[in-house]
Amino acid sequence: MQLFLDGIFLGSIYALFAIGFTLVFGILDRLNLAHAAVFTAGALVGIEIVTRFGVPIWLLIPIVLVVGAVLGILIERIAFRPLAGRHDAHFAGLISSIAFGAILLSLLQALYGADTRRFPADAFPSTRVEIFGATVSLLQVIILIISVSLMVVLTWLVAKSKLGRGMRTIAENPHAAAVLGLNVGRISSTTFALSSALGAVAGVLFTLNVNAASLGIGHAVELKALAVIVVGGMGSLPGALVGGLILGVAEVLAVNYIGSSWRDMVAFGLLFLILILRPQGLFGARKTREV
């Protein structure tokens, strides 16, 4: 039970990161590899804010959401929009977002140095509670609540709101969406903003969970997130949630029963198998673009 709960906590963070990742892919058909840098930025900026101003967690999360959203808009404007209409926009978008991520990371290094950073001790309550015979910290429960509610809000937004309808129209056919009078540029920006806001919060929550952040944390999570969105189905929001939880639990179990050195094999083995056996993922409806 303890293992299972630990897996759920870890998995919910993976899912939160992955859901932003998959949102951009599902709607704009682009893989944004700067997402990992946004994750790192969220973590480091979060630590900075808490260290300097001692803000409580309920204030920290909205601030980081805003920081992430601003980064998302920048990513869209700088790394993706100039490529619109180019035949190689797919490849070029991968590379330009890698470049953006690299710039962001080096700026973070300039601001906060290259060392591992932590939240100040006693910044958050360290109450522990017992559930079903397993011990969990209050912080973990808060993390779970925040990430799940953010994901629920996002899914609702995409499914029901006017903005979400616009997004889904663009996903179906960007040209038709533009003809229908939708502001494709603005909706794309908003999509990136939402995506990055969640990515940044995931960074903070991840750091809260392990209480350590360095420049490199984004990369490891990025690879996991790729596994998550493929397992759940590229572009599927519920898929990212379920995929994240599956991966979290599977990893914790693997560490316990096989050994930590093989932990990452689980993610990639799962990813590889799904791609071979069911490329559309567990929840995916793969868009086929044929003749």
Partner 1 sequence: MLAEYSSLIALIALTAILAYSFYAVLIAGQLSLAQVGLASLAAFTSALVVPAEPLFGFIPPLVIGIVFGMFVGAIAAFILGLPVIRLRGVFLAIATLAFGEMVRIFLINQSWTNGAQGLSFSKLVGPWIAWIALAVVAYWFWRLSGSRLGRAFAAIREDELAATTMGIDVPRYRMASFVIAGAVAGLYGVLLAHFSRFADPNEFSFTAAVDGLVTAVVGGVTLFIGPILGSAFLSVLPEVQRVIGIDAGWIRPTISGVLLLVVILFLPGGLSGLIPLRKSAKRLIVDPSLQPTLPSLPAAGSELVSLSGLGKSYGGVHAVQSVDLTVNAGEVLGLIGPNGAGKTTLVNMVTALTPPSTGSGTVLGVPLSATTKAHRLAQAGVARTFQQIKLFNRLSALENVLVGGYRVTKDTLLRRLLFLPSARRAEREAMAMASAQLIRVGLGDKAANAAGDLSYGDQRRLEIARALASHPSLLVLDEPAAGMNHVEAESLSELIRSLAADGIAVLVIEHNVRMMLATCDRIMVLNFGEIIAFGKPSEIARDPRVLEAYLGSAGSDEDADAASVLASENLAQVSADRDDAQLGLHIDPDPDGVTNPEENR
Give min distance, CB of 79 to partner 1, in A: 7
In DSSP notation, 10-25 reads HHHHHHHHHHHHHHHH
Burial label, 273 (beta-carbon count in 10 A; 0-12, 13-18, 19+): exposed
4 or 268, CB closer to partner 1?
268
Q: Indicate whether 282 belongs to the interface with partner 1 (CB under 8 A).
A: no
Q: Indicate whether 141 belongs to the interface with partner 1 (CB under 8 A).
A: no
Q: Indicate whether 217 belongs to the interface with partner 1 (CB under 8 A).
A: no
Rounded-to-integer distance, Cα 18 and Cα 278, Å: 19
Contact 150, 16 (CB under 8 A): yes
Burial label, 7 (beta-carbon count in 10 A; 0-12, 13-18, 19+): buried
Which residue from 91, 160, 173, 210 is in contact with partner 1, where contact means CB under 8 A? 91
87 or 162, CB closer to partner 1?
87
Give min distance, CB of 105 to partner 1, in A: 7
Binders of partner 1 in range 143-202 (CB under 8 A)? none
Which residue from 99, 142, 148, 163 is in contact with partner 1, where contact means CB under 8 A? 99
204 or 231, CB closer to partner 1?
231
Which residue from 18, 45, 105, 249 is in contact with partner 1, where contact means CB under 8 A? 105
Q: Indicate whether 287 belongs to the interface with partner 1 (CB under 8 A).
A: no
Q: Indicate whether 210 belongs to the interface with partner 1 (CB under 8 A).
A: no
Give min distance, CB of 184 to partner 1, in A: 19
Q: CB neighbours of 33 closer than 8 A, spacing ≥ 6?
A: 94, 97, 98, 101, 222
Residues in touch with partner 1 (CB under 8 A): 25, 31, 33, 78-79, 82-83, 86-88, 90-92, 94-96, 98-100, 102-103, 105-107, 109-110, 114, 219, 223, 226-227, 230, 234, 261-262, 264-265, 268-269, 271-272, 275-276, 279, 291
